[in-house]
Amino acid sequence: MNHKVIPCLLAASVLICLHLAEAQQPAKIPRIGYVSTSGDPSTPGPQVEAFRQGLRDLGYFEGKNVLVEYRYIEGKSERIPSLVAELVQLKVDVLVVTNPPSIRTAKQATKTIPIVMVTTGDPVATGLVDSLARPGGNITGLTRLTRELSGKRLELLKEVLPAISRVGVLWTQGPSANFKEYEPAARALKIPLQSLEVRGPNPDLEGAFRQAVKGRANALITITTATLSPYRREIAHLAIENRLPSMYERSDYVQAGGLMSYSANDSESFRRAATYVDKILKGAKPADLPVEQPTKFEFVINLKTSKQIGLTIPQSVLYRADKVIK
């Protein structure tokens, strides 16, 4: 009898030891890759901070139960392929990308790593996803409808400046940015546009503003691109120096000294990106997660800037502002 019991006890002991060893194995910490179009390692900026806050709200704390690998474009779009490739090689569990060139690069780089996008345009029209309801493939996330709000920005400029005669459009060439996207609304409002195209990696901003003055533009719109994002303060300073009322596609330009912006709520969009990351880490497939469109829009005015350029914002416009910087 003992000959039968002893082997059974030994086998049971081995199984128990194996079970205990497995139980003591530390859980795998998920790794997120994040390609940012604004900020740098020393000053990540409000978008990255909003994403981090979204993670914290969901119980993720960097360095404890999640790792985030940040990569910053720093105004150099040519860096995008290498940054994305680096994160793909690291085999991150989720890849977060925040502008159309980065999203397209990520889509080409991997068909297996889930991708969470925060894009400015229509992801269906640009071929990033099959549909908003069922994206298909390995990409989902949010669209900020940045270009679709071009008409609203021009309308607000005209309300602030009823005698507006020409609007300069500061932009850089790229598949996701073109001043022509403002032309239909400009024709409807009978506002001539002036193209102020600059080229990276070191855009000639002073030259663009000289063109604006020479062309008698009396207002400015800046199209958000990875090339121009690092120059928010310089653009705001030049607009003030040339006494040009300025409108932007993101509120961080106004925080940097620009006059006005109208856009989807920046913080809300990037906090929501963390929600997608959470769902994917818990097993959801990007193909089954609908792409979100913004529900909150934000009109921001910088009164300090308006005083610097000698412009009085009508009370009717001020009342509609979601945020006023004094």
In the chain, which stretches have pLDDT less than 50?
Answer: 1, 9, 21-23
Cα dist from 143 to 10, 148, 270, 273, 287, whole Å: 60, 11, 11, 10, 16
pLDDT value, residue 21 = 47
Total of domains in the chain? 2
Same domain, 154 and 178: yes
Same domain, 269 and 254: no
Same domain, 118 and 260: no
Cα dist from 19 to 7, 10, 255, whole Å: 18, 14, 56
The answer to whether 281 and 93 have CB atoms below 8 angstroms apart is yes
Residue 12: count of CB within 10 angstroms of its CB = 10
Residue 22 included in any domain: no
Residue 5 included in any domain: no
Same domain, 54 and 100: yes
Q: What CATH code is carried by the domain that includes residue 280?
A: 3.40.50.2300
The answer to whether 286 and 278 have CB atoms below 8 angstroms apart is no
pLDDT value, residue 212 = 96
Separation between Cα atoms, residue 271 and residue 257, nearest integer Å = 24
Residue 58 included in any domain: yes
Same domain, 314 and 216: yes
DSSP output for 89-132: HTT-SEEEE-SHHHHHHHHHH-SSS-EEEEESS-TTTTTSSS-S
Same domain, 161 and 127: no
The pTM for the full model equals 0.81
SS3 264: strand
pLDDT value, residue 1 = 46
pLDDT value, residue 62 = 95
Residue 10 included in any domain: no
Separation between Cα atoms, residue 233 and residue 278, nearest integer Å = 34
Q: Which domain holds residue 242?
A: 147-264+298-325
Residue 257 included in any domain: yes
Same domain, 248 and 169: yes
Separation between Cα atoms, residue 133 and residue 228, nearest integer Å = 32
Same domain, 206 and 256: yes
Same domain, 217 and 141: no
Separation between Cα atoms, residue 142 and residue 34, nearest integer Å = 15
Same domain, 291 and 303: no
